[in-house]
Structure 1
Amino acid sequence: MICIVYTMGKVGSTAISRAIKAAGLRCYDIHTMKDAALAGREPLPWHEEVSKARQAATSGDGLVITVARDPVARNLSGFFENLALYAPEGLSKPHHAIDVFLEKYSHQIPTNWFQREMLGELGVDLFSQPFDHKTRLQVHEGSPRVVAFRDDTADDVKSLTLSHEFGKTITIGRERTSAEKPYGELYRLTVESAWAFLPASYLDEMYDNDYVRHFWTPAEIAALRSKWSAA
């Protein structure tokens, strides 16, 4: 069986794909199958990987694995990963980082990803079947078969689930986090103080949508919002 790790960026997909490859299985790790994302660009090796991944997924020969993450946390991580793009002059203070983040980042990436990619490209409506909030796991029956985790799903649950799916031992390990990267200190300070700078309207946008309501319970959503809120 071929594995397709098909996720938005900054959700921990690398740890999953590396563990699967370490078990000797073929695995594609991609963030988009949209033709528009590839159109007009010089062909690159990952373009071919996207084509092969799409073929495996649509032919029924592949298992698709995807991951959801708190949209605010994911967006902050994505912003800092591409900090040179959004702030080429550099940043030194958390409140300045939040100002640039709110002004320049594409905040709808996580909230729209499953509709745009999973449904739009593979015809899979994950939201039509329930997510198990206790195990933080969903197995979508159909073609292709899809296993969905949250980024905070326990590593042993991810490992056991994928070991069962592939019939081989899969051990999910830890990857380097944003806090451990060169921008880590400013990232850490910004995350710790973001509650003081993120407006309520932004939190409304991030947490009042089908994506969040599918993967998190009302109580969990309230806790996430509280984490980022001064109220």
Structure 2
Amino acid sequence: MSTAWVVVFLSLLLGVQPLATDLYLPALPSITAALQAPMAKVQATLSALLLAFGIAQLVWGPVSDRFGRRPVLLLGLAAYTLASVGSALAANVEQLIVWRIVQGAAMGAAVMGARAIVRDLYSPVEGARMMSRGLSGLGIFACLSGPLGGWLTEHLGWRAALGVLAVFGALGLVLVALRFRETLPARNPQALRPREMVRIWARIARHPTF
């Protein structure tokens, strides 16, 4: 893949996170009124998303080491799109929480995949430069998400705001399917063995950054 396409993929994959959170925030009061749910319960839809997002990355990493980045990205973006549609059509807050959990887990696949791509293709120094370019794209999405979410909620309703996430996820899915080439140099057949996964998780837990 060319450098330009890598930057595009990094921006899209990292951008799913601010869209799923910042675009969603202006819709919270409308969701509370429409679903006749307590604000605390509606706020739990965001907490559930972020918790699933964090935990899922611990699993997606070994899965992508075993089967490759491309299958994980395709599965993750497909699940993200489906969960976005489910969220937009949710009939009650309980359904919305479930779909947001699925969306958070799928979001973990996209963000983990972006970081793995950089690790696969570049040295640490060059990888930092590429990641900074991808984060610039993320910054654009983050800046647009709040105002866009507010405008959509005000003029078209909260379901339209959540529907935009489905459009974004579908766009990312199509681009990955058509243009993404596997970046993992060699698959690790041991990656999903419990002992290997525990070893990796322990190394993460011991890392000063964590």
Q: Which has the higher strand share?
A: 1
> Smaller-chain TM-score range?
under 0.3
TM-score, structure 2 length as denominator? 0.27
Q: Which has the higher contact order (CA 8 A, sep 6+)?
A: 2
Q: Which has the higher helix share?
A: 2
TM-score, structure 1 length as denominator? 0.25
